[in-house]
Chain A
Amino acid sequence: MAGAVWVLGEQWRGALADITYELLALGRPVADGLGVPLEVVLLGSGVEHLAGSLGVADRVLCGDAPALAEPIGEVDSRVLAALATERAPAVILVPMTNVSADLLGLLPARLGAALVNFCTDLKTLDGGLEAQCLVFGGKMEVRVVPGGETVVVGVLPGSRSAEEGRSERSPEVEKVPVDPVGSAVRLLAYEDPEAGDVDITQQEVLISVGRGLQGEANLDLAEELAEILGGAVAGSRPAIDMGWLPVTRQVGKSGMQVKPRLYVALGISGAPEHVEGMKGAALIIAVNTDPSAPIFNVAHYGAAADLLEVVPALIDKAKESKR
Chain B
Amino acid sequence: MKILVLLKMVPDVVEELEVAADGASLDRGFLRLIINERDENALEQALILKERHQGEVVVLAPEAPEVDDVLYTAMARGADRAIKVTGLREGLGSRASAAMLAGTLPGIAGLLPVDLVLTGCQAIDDLDGLVGPLVAAHLGLPYIGIVTGLDVDAGNVARCSREYSGGVRGRFEVDLPAVVGIQGAEKPPRYVPIAKVRAAMAAGGIETVPAVPGEEPGLLETLEMRKPVVAEGAEMIAGEPDEIAARICEILIGRGLL
Contacts and interface: CB of A to CB of B under 8 A. Distances in A.
Interface in B26-74: 26, 41
A261 B223 CA distance: 40
A156 to B, nearest CB: 12
A61 B162 CA distance: 28
B258 A105 contact: no
A183 B143 CA distance: 10
A144 B173 contact: no
A73 B144 contact: yes
A304 B236 contact: yes
B219 A301 contact: no
Nearest to B255: A283
B95 interface: yes
B145 interface: yes
Nearest to A201: B166
A242 B245 CA distance: 27
Interface stretch (A37-45, A84-92, A285-293): A285-293
Interface string B246-257: 111101110101
Given A110-B137, A147-B218, A187-B170, A317 B245 contact: yes
Interface range on chain B (Cβ under 8 Å from partner): 35 or more
A229 B253 CA distance: 11
Contacts of A148: 217, 219
A254 B133 contact: no
B184 interface: yes
A254 B165 contact: yes
Main secondary structure of the interface of B (DSSP, over half): mixed
A278 interface: no
B256 to A, nearest CB: 9
Nearest to A300: B234
Interface stretch (A20-28, A48-56, A171-179, A308-316): A308-316
Nearest to A228: B258
A262 B257 contact: yes
Contacts of A269: 13-14
B13 A137 contact: yes
B143 A305 contact: no
B234 A136 contact: no
Given A12-B164, A255-B165, A145 B229 contact: no
Contacts of A113: 219
B166 A117 contact: no
B142 A118 contact: no
Contacts of B124: 135-137, 271
Interface string B213-255: 0000111111111111110011111100110111111011101
B224 A142 contact: yes
A144 B249 contact: no
A105 B257 contact: no
Interface in A125-183: 130, 133-148, 151, 183
B91 to A, nearest CB: 13
A184 B228 contact: no
Contact of A102 (B13, B133, B234, B235): B133
Given A105-B130, A115-B128, A142-B224, A184 B178 contact: yes
A108 to B, nearest CB: 7
Interface range on chain A (Cβ under 8 Å from partner): 35 or more
A15 interface: no
A144 B221 CA distance: 5
A203 interface: no
A188 B220 CA distance: 38
Nearest to A141: B228
Contacts of A116: 127-128, 220
Interface in A268-323: 269, 271, 283-287, 290-292, 294, 296-306, 309-310, 312-314, 316-318, 321-322
A236 B227 CA distance: 23
Contacts of A292: 16-17, 227
Contact of A118 (B127, B168, B234): B127
A106 B143 contact: yes
B170 A241 contact: no
Nearest to B130: A105
Contact of A104 (B130, B175, B242, B258): B130
B246 A317 contact: yes
Given A142-B223, A302-B237, 5 more contacts: A74-B143, A116-B127, A299-B234, A316-B245, A322-B258
Interface of B: 11, 13-14, 16-17, 19, 24, 26, 41, 95, 121-122, 124-130, 132-134, 136-138, 142-146, 159, 161-175, 178, 181, 183-184, 187-188, 217-230, 233-238, 241-242, 244-249, 251-253, 255, 257-258
15 contacts: A73-B143, A114-B128, A114-B219, A130-B223, A143-B224, A185-B172, A185-B178, A187-B171, A191-B170, A256-B166, A269-B13, A287-B244, A317-B242, A318-B252, A321-B258
